[in-house]
Amino acid sequence: MTSFSPPSARTEVRRGADRATYDPSAIRSILASGLVAHVGVTTDDGPIVLPMAYGVAEDRILLHGSVANAMMRAGTELDVCVTVTVVDGLVVARTPFHNSMNYRCVVIRGTASKVEEPKAKLAALKAINDHIALLWDITRRPNEAELKRTLVLAVPLNEASAKIRHGDPVDDPDDVAGRHWAGVLPLTSMWGDPVPAADLKAGIEIPAAIALLAGTNAHPQSLPYETDP
């Protein structure tokens, strides 16, 4: 896809290498489209992978969770693997062997470090909330007690690779001449209408950021990164 080289041997895509890209702009585009990162780490009880909200700032992916979270604690200053995947469609082939999905995926390897300096921690939490849906400015700021209970980790993006599949199924010539249907069923994520909390006081209007998302009725996930042909 691009002339960029793998940043390290362990991030080089070997299977389906023609679908790989190491272009930082492509990687950032995919991260901007995703909502959930799956974070893998080895703990004393064995390996574990958990889904987490994330944000991106200053060439780092930012993760947050409770200080009581065993995986977060175990991942501090240790090597972790972070994966973000966006599914764009179901690829229906003429045989199950060639069934697939159109997708955009980023894999990040690196050492997770704590973000502890107060201003940097607030900035990281803002980046995570605003990545989801520009939530920071429509909410109360975290108080000191909440910040103490929150652990923020940063993983550099300098060991990242992406893999992208798009287009039709790739069937064998004999199957193409057959009678079975083949094609792509696109998949998009859409926001529904906002539902006020049951205990919301009367007179509080829906914030503009939430109304805007509901009005567009789509998350950026539905806007796939345009790849080279």
Least confident range of 21-25, 36-40, 131-135, 137-141: 131-135
| CATH code for position 22 | 2.30.110.10
Does 148 score more than 70 pLDDT? yes
Indicate whether 224 belongs to any domain: no
Indicate whether 173 belongs to any domain: yes
Average pLDDT of 16-28? 94
Tell me the residue range of the domain where 178 lies: 9-217
Indicate whether 59 belongs to any domain: yes
Indicate whether 121 belongs to any domain: yes
Q: How open is the CA angle 45-49-50, to the nearest 5 degrees?
A: 115
Query: 38-55, pLDDT tens digit by residue?
Result: 999 888 888 889 999 999
* Overall number of domains in the chain: 1
Q: What mean pLDDT value characterizes the chain?
A: 88
Q: What is the pTM assigned to this prediction?
A: 0.85
Indicate whether 210 belongs to any domain: yes
Indicate whether 149 belongs to any domain: yes
DSSP 18: G
Indicate whether 2 belongs to any domain: no
Token pair of 144, please?
């000191």
